[in-house]
Amino acid sequence: MRGSSSSRRPARSLPPTTPQWVKNGQTVSVSLSITFQTPASRRAARVHSINGRIRRLGVSPRPPGDHFATDRAKESLHRSLSRLKSSA
């Protein structure tokens, strides 16, 4: 598992399961993420997953939350692909 390092760069958002190491001068700070999932976060995760596949095709997809109907279509596609994968 790889973490990331930063030296005097502005704060940035990291995926919750990404290990981090923050160095403050001569001391070290280690952060801990405690996450939970909601129906909305699960939907966004499915849309992000499909968006990754779409990007590999060379297309720039809309981000989650940008268009309700598009998000629902992507969720349906994700579920269909998941069912196909689990039945194979």
Instruction: Judge whether 4 lies within some domain.
Output: no
Q: Per DSSP, what are the bridge partners of residue 58? A: none
What pLDDT is stored for residue 3 in this prediction?
52
What pLDDT is stored for residue 16 in this prediction?
63
Instruction: Judge whether 83 lies within some domain.
Output: yes
Contact 43, 75 (CB under 8 A): yes
Q: What is the pLDDT along the chain (88 residues), one digit of tens a residue?
A: 455 555 555 555 666 667 766 677 787 777 676 778 899 889 999 999 999 999 999 999 999 899 999 999 999 999 999 999 898 7
What pLDDT is stored for residue 13 in this prediction?
61
Instruction: Judge whether 21 lies within some domain.
Output: no
Instruction: Judge whether 73 lies within some domain.
Output: yes
Residue 58 belongs to what domain range? 39-87
Q: How many domains are contained in the chain? A: 1
Instruction: Judge whether 75 lies within some domain.
Output: yes
| Terminal Cα-to-Cα distance of the chain (whole angstroms) | 29
Q: What is the pTM of this model?
A: 0.61
Instruction: Judge whether 59 lies within some domain.
Output: yes
Residue 43: exposure state from Cβ atoms within 10 A (0-12, 13-18, ≥19): middle
